[in-house]
Structure 1
Amino acid sequence: MIENRIKHRHLSSFVEVARLKSIGKAAVSLSISQPAVSKTIRELEEILGVELFDRSHRSVVLSYYGEVFLRFAGASIAALRQGVESVELALKQGASIVRVGALASASSRVLPEAVTRFLGSSVGTTPQIITADNVAILNQLRAGELDFALGRMGSPASMVGLAFEHLYSERVAVVARREHPLFAQGAGLGRLSDYVVLVPPSGSIIHDHAVELLIRLAVGPQLRRIDTVSTVFGRAFATTTDAIWIAHYGEVVGDIAAGTLRELPVDTSDTFGPLGLIVRSGAPLTLGAELMMAAIREVAGEVRAEGER
């Protein structure tokens, strides 16, 4: 690929020659020899396959292609300089905090590994993880109480002033303790009404999915229900009683892997929803936030590669 062959020395030499309109002056500015500048410019032209300067003039004049390339070359150097300055500033400022809002499912599935990788970057930043329901997370983010969030995309009204970057998709899971009577041979889901069901409350991001599942399973109004978004309570209650728990798959994936909870044979394929990074539109991010988001993207990519569930 062409971009992989272009080095910083190519860009800096090109921009200086264009700025000073002289190879000699550019060489002085860059503290290198004039032949070195000329050679670097020729290399860049060979890589791009075009002439960047019109050599029919006595002075150094940009060609049409040179004018086009200058806009992007200058922007690239400026971005690199800003990046270096940001790192230097972060190092001077010392320890800082990156505040991350996250759904419980993301806190269980993606964040632990992402935080581990982030801490290995040695930037002296302390992660602060705030777990809440999606509505609370979006409100805190909009109020500036969070640097960014990892959650589900909300309704258009709730996303005003925010930007969403889709990372992976996740479905709802219907689980119970490993030895639950519904897993007995011959047991059917028709007896679901015999048990307490933990359901996300109205207003939570997967409440409607949970209600639709219960309707599909013909669970009537006599259902004994507990409304909760607490992963801690849900796990404790579902593993010590015969309650059924409807939750984000990411909240229970570890319990399923450990064998303490099992999924009931309920088709939840139509409950997939997008999870991703949410930021305030146009708001600058700290170096710590950028690095944490990069770690989350990396881990989320591995979740996608394993197959979204």
Structure 2
Amino acid sequence: MPARTASILLHPNVTRERAPPARALPARLEMNMRQLRALVAVAQGGSVHKAASILHVTQPAVTRAIHEFEQALGLELFERTAKGMVATAVGAILVERTQRALAQLAQAEQELAEMGVVRRSSASIGAKVTHRHLRVLIAIHEHQTETAAAVELDVSQPSVTQALREMERIVEADLFLRTARGMLLTRAGEVMVRRTKLMLHEWQLARDDIAAQLGNITGRIVVGALPLASTLLVPRAVTRLKQEYPELLVTILEGTYESLLDSLRCGDVDLLVGVLRYPIPCSDIVQEKLFEDLLSVVGRKDHPYATAKALRLADVIDSEWVLPYKGAPSRRAFEQAMHAAGLPLPKNAIESNALVALRGLLIESDRLSILSRNQIHYEELHGMLSVLPIDMRGSERPIGITTRADAKRSVGLDALMRHLRAVGDAMKDGPH
């Protein structure tokens, strides 16, 4: 069935429905595409009869799919009334998330068409693909061989090969190239993997939304933390989040902006926290500024320059330096400051974005670096590093949150963003 995004009209009483007593849900809800299609069709048609017509299947097939779905959840998804079937509160959650998930496959079709992939079949990808196809696609991508994917999925290697061939026939494009380095994604494969991950992510969020409806704020949030946000902003916000919702699982990932952005765009990361990029690098993300951060020139506690009352960049230009990688926002800000002062860039500087290594290099020598005081809050507090009295105005960088533009956030993610804003407000005047 083609992905449909029509809004679902709920019975007026459904939105005021009292939540059932809190109960545990499975850690993951397994997707069954037949049941998902039936769910959306019944919600759209308001009856099994109309749903069967939409899906071109028999009424008993629709009834069985909905019954199996409700049995697996232990929850009713529809109220059976004289006027038809109306989604319950839980059913409405599943319908919305399912529509969003199926829309990812529709978007994949559009992107493939824009790339020149011409599909001869009149049936959409979303109407034919199964959960098995999607799992095999992701497993091969992650492990790069059909054999390793089979081990991961606990199935035979021939069944993995068969599922991939079936999916390539449905998409009508090759999804992988077989090379000496393993199976690598084609351009069409990249589109399908990204959209499939976003689809699976919507389905996991459905589980979190249902748990919240039943009184349990659970699930998992993955935070991509850029270097400047890793010392104070993210830890303080996550600590507050866990105090509010102890059952939430939180994973904090560090990495380059490019790698974390890729993870954000495919649903592997829920939000990115750190220096914002302008212009925004792609149209499917949005940025929210929290505060501006100023760079400082930093050295060890007893650095020869540490006791000076005032310094200029020209006074320390001959020092040995540890600088961020070329292209990093802080590196660009430093280069702009040096250029504005009419100074040459340091020669033979050590490059490092790792705070642990950078701290060791500074403590063990008279090297200098440029860092935010937010990054070295604890090193400065405990007397390991000191900030030199050099005016670095003009090196400010916007710090904030990056999310997917079309994301529908869970209760937990909304709470984390609320705490990030509160911590960010407190950091506007510097670390404390």
Normalising by structure 1, what TM-score? 0.65
Say which is worse superposed, 104-113 or 127-136, in terms of deviation: 127-136
Q: How far does residue 247 in structure 1 lie from its aligned partner after superposition?
A: 1.9
Tell whether 2:262 aligns with 1:145: no
Match 2:336 to one of 192, 212, 216: 212
Identify the residue that residue 416 of structure 2 maps to in structure 1: 292
Q: Is the 8 A contact 2:211 2:218 kept in 1?
A: no
Q: Is the 8 A contact 1:100 1:130 kept in 2?
A: yes
Are residues 188 and 113 of structure 1, via their aligned partners in 2, closer, same or farther at CA, if it must alter by over 3 Å?
closer
Match 1:268 to one of 392, 414, 418: 392
Q: How big is each residue's C-alpha offset from its partner over 1:270-302, in whole Å with a ceiling of 9 and x where there is no partner?
A: 111211111000122222222211211121122
When Rg is computed on C-alpha atoms for both structures, the one with the higher figure is 1
| Identical-pair percentage | 22
Tell whether 2:326 aligns with 1:202: yes
Identify the residue that residue 237 of structure 1 maps to in structure 2: 361
Tell whether 2:254 aligns with 1:131: yes
Match 2:349 to one of 225, 230, 235: 225
Unaligned runs of 5+ in 2: 1-10, 18-88, 94-206
Unaligned runs of 5+ in 1: 1-15, 21-28, 31-77
Q: Hey, what's the Cα distance between the residues in 1 that align with 2:391 and 2:238? A: 33
Identify the residue that residue 249 of structure 1 maps to in structure 2: 373
Say which is worse superposed, 91-100 or 291-300, in terms of deviation: 91-100
What letter is aligned with 1:196?
E
Are residues 217 and 272 of structure 1, via their aligned partners in 2, closer, same or farther at CA, if it must alter by over 3 Å?
same
Q: Hey, what's the Cα distance between the residues in 2 that align with 1:143 and 1:229? A: 25
Q: Is the 8 A contact 1:195 1:244 kept in 2?
A: yes
- Number of aligned residue pairs: 232
Are residues 216 and 185 of structure 1, via their aligned partners in 2, closer, same or farther at CA, if it must alter by over 3 Å?
same
Provide the alpha-carbon RMSD of the alignment: 3.3
What letter is aligned with 1:89?
A
Are residues 218 and 226 of structure 1, via their aligned partners in 2, closer, same or farther at CA, if it must alter by over 3 Å?
farther
Are residues 92 and 110 of structure 1, via their aligned partners in 2, closer, same or farther at CA, if it must alter by over 3 Å?
same
Q: How far does residue 211 in structure 1 lie from its aligned partner after superposition?
A: 1.4
Q: How big is each residue's C-alpha offset from its partner over 1:1-35, in whole Å with a ceiling of 9 and x where there is no partner?
A: xxxxxxxxxxxxxxx9xx89xxxxxxxx99xxxxx
What letter is aligned with 2:410?
T
What letter is aligned with 2:270?
D
> Where in structure 2 are the equivalents of 1:57-76 lying within 5 Å?
none
Q: How big is each residue's C-alpha offset from its partner over 1:38-83, in whole Å with a ceiling of 9 and x where there is no partner?
A: xxxxxxxxxxxxxxxxxxxxxxxxxxxxxxxxxxxxxxxx9xx97x
Q: Hey, what's the Cα distance between the residues in 2 that align with 1:156 and 1:221? A: 26
Identify the residue that residue 236 of structure 2 maps to in structure 1: 113
Q: Is the 8 A contact 1:181 1:187 kept in 2?
A: no
Normalising by structure 2, what TM-score? 0.48
Identify the residue that residue 168 of structure 2 maps to in structure 1: none
